[in-house]
Amino acid sequence: MSPSGAEFIRQVKSQIDEVDPADVKPLVGNGVAIVDVRETEEVAQGKIPGAIHVPRGYLESRIEGAAPDRKQRVVLYCASGNRSALAARTLRDDLGYEDVASMTGGFTLWKDRGYEVEVPRAFTPEQRQRYSRHFLLPEIGEEGQQKLLDAKVLLLGAGGLGAPTALYLAAAGVGTLGVVDDDVVDVSNLQRQVIHTTDRVGVPKVDSAEETIKALNPDVEVVKYQTRLDASNIMEILEGYDIVVDGVDNFPTRYLLNDASVRLKVPVVSASILGFDGQLSVFAPYDGPCYRCLYPVPPPAELAPSCGANGVLGVLPGTMGLLQATEVVKLIVGTGEPLIGRLLLYEALSATFTELKVRRDPECPICSRSPEEIGDEEMGVFPDYEAFCAAAG
Amino acid sequence: MATVKIPPVLRPSTGGEKEVSAGGESVGAVLTALAEQHPSTKSQLFGENGDLNRYVNVYLNDEDVRVLEGLETPVGEGDTLVILPAMAGGAS
């Protein structure tokens, strides 16, 4: 005769490893995969800090996102310890996980013991639909989306690179987008600056960008800085942002930005474009090289066409800006291999990518020293640049 | 022969060529051969003392020659040299 449901669960529990919540508590934050197999509505009421949510109904298809290594220790829990026992058996017997346990008493006992509980952000039904394609990716999921919504990203410029980057970061649900730009929309911008529109010619770019972002995703707060970044305001503006997206059009500001970002330890996702060519890298202070490690001195005017107006393929800032946006999302979510210590070159006409290594310069005038040692008077300093640009007219 | 990839800002000096083949057993020799073929690249690559200009990065395949042996770095058949000046275009 087939066993009753309760009898079956008892049998399963006798065949698997069970651990007491007291033994799970020290594992929190120590690299052990703690997996919550309850339903979404239950998890919304609270969960074990750092636990990864994989509903039991999706266990087989999504567990690898939570625990990629079948040899690693995995602790499962549900509300009372029954569903997690069944899930543990599945992981061990069907999927080959070698070190799986189910937490006895489940989340109910955990809470009764007074252990720490984390209440995840409650997504609205609208947000669940809006970000559903992110939720389906184990690398992002609800936790990654929470990180995106909590993230603060500063865009330097709402122009060629900033426009596409801002659009996609807004769509992805990056919660706060700061936009620095002192310019107004010009009809000649519209060949590439897709965040602006024909009827907004003459409108400040920060206002135009805000209007488009708000229309695309009301979750995003836009902080506007209708100013030019300079030595007097850069530290104040950058402070509090998690990541800076650099698309500025001149060397003095790039060096200034580099020095400020090293002092504040804010990573910079940097791109530049010219004609049909683009460059991209991520400068993560002290984890990798900085802009000065790559380019210790700016080129003279005849090799620095950024001094004047130059042609650019309208699609190119889109390509490079979206590669920037991709790196930003990776950094926020903490997934993948960021483009730190690597420079990506894109040549549109030949449709080729080239990757070069970028090393930290042990003698870098900025990032070889600690942030406290870098003085205000050194920020953005390098010889004779203004003279070069003046000579170039 | 090595292949030298020419960045956009130097292409006016190479008659628009994006890639130039140049012979030489070291990075310095290859770049000198390039400068002989296209004389106006010389002052852009080398300073008066014959060193590489500091604002020009040169990569042998994917590695900065400054972390190798600089201009003395040996170059093999089929290697690629990438000349890379800084670019700053973006917002405008």
Q: What is the ipTM of this complex?
A: 0.92
Residue A385 has pLDDT above 50, yes or no: no
Q: Which CA distances in Å does A217 have to A114, A160, A163, A255? A: 39, 21, 15, 33
- With CA atoms as reference, the chain B residue closest to A354 would be B62
Give the residue among B17, B55, B64, A5 at the shortest CA–CA distance from B27. Answer: B64
Phi, psi of A267 (to 5 degrees): -70, 145
The per-residue pLDDT for A378 is 78
* A377 three-class SS: helix
Q: How far is B17 from chain A (nearest CA, A)?
A: 13
What is the helix (H) or strand (E) element at residue B83, kind and residue range?
Answer: strand B80-85
Q: Which helix (H) or strand (E) holds A170?
A: helix A162-172
Which range of A127-131, A375-379, A388-392 scores highest in mean pLDDT? It is: A127-131
Predicted pLDDT at B89: 61
Please tell me the predicted confidence (pLDDT) of residue A247.
84
pLDDT at residue A383 above 60? no
pLDDT of the residue at A65 = 83
| Cα B32 from Cα A155, distance rounded (Å) | 42
Q: Are B22 and B33 in contact (CB under 8 A)?
A: yes
Q: How confident is the model at residue A305 (pLDDT cuts 50, 70, 90)?
A: low
pLDDT tens across A231-280, in order? Answer: 999 999 999 999 999 988 788 889 999 999 999 999 999 999 988 999 99
- Could you tell me if residue A372 is left (phi over 0), alpha (psi between -120 and 50 degrees) or otherwise beta? alpha
Contact list, A271 vs chain B (CB under 8 Å): 90
For residue B88, the model assigns a pLDDT of 64
Closest residue, chain B, to A303 (C-alpha): B9
Q: Compute the distance between CA of residue A354 and CA of residue A319 in angstroms, rounded to an integer.
A: 15
Read off the pLDDT of residues A346-355 as tens digits, 9 standing for 90 and up.
999 999 999 9
Residues of A in contact with B9 (CB under 8 A): 274, 299, 303-305
Encoding tokens for residue A99? 């070190």
Partner residue opposite B91 with nearest CB, options A247, A297, A357: A247
Quote the pTM value.
0.81
Using an 8 Å CB-CB cutoff, list chain A residues near B54.
296-297
Euclidean distance between CA atoms A108 and A96, whole angstroms = 28
Checking if the pLDDT of A31 tops 90, the result is: no
Which residues in chain A have their CB less than 8 angstroms from residue B87's CB? 272-274, 277, 279, 306
* 8 A C-beta contact, residue B67 and residue A138: no
Query: What tens digit of pLDDT does each residue of A49-60 get?
Result: 989 999 999 999
What is d(CA A366, CA A374) in angstroms, rounded to the nearest whole number? Answer: 7
Highest mean pLDDT among A242-246, A364-368, B3-7: A242-246
Report pLDDT for B48. 85
The B-side interface with A (CB below 8 A) comprises 5, 7-10, 18, 44, 54-57, 59, 62-64, 67, 82, 84-92
Contact A325, A165 (CB under 8 A): yes
pLDDT at B92: 45
Report, as an integer, the average pLDDT of A163-188.
97
- The amino acid sitting at B84 is L
Task: Report residue A44's pLDDT band, with 50, 70 and 90 as the boundaries.
Answer: confident
Nearest chain A CA: its distance from B90 CA (Å): 5
Residue A85: alpha-carbon gap to chain centroid: 35
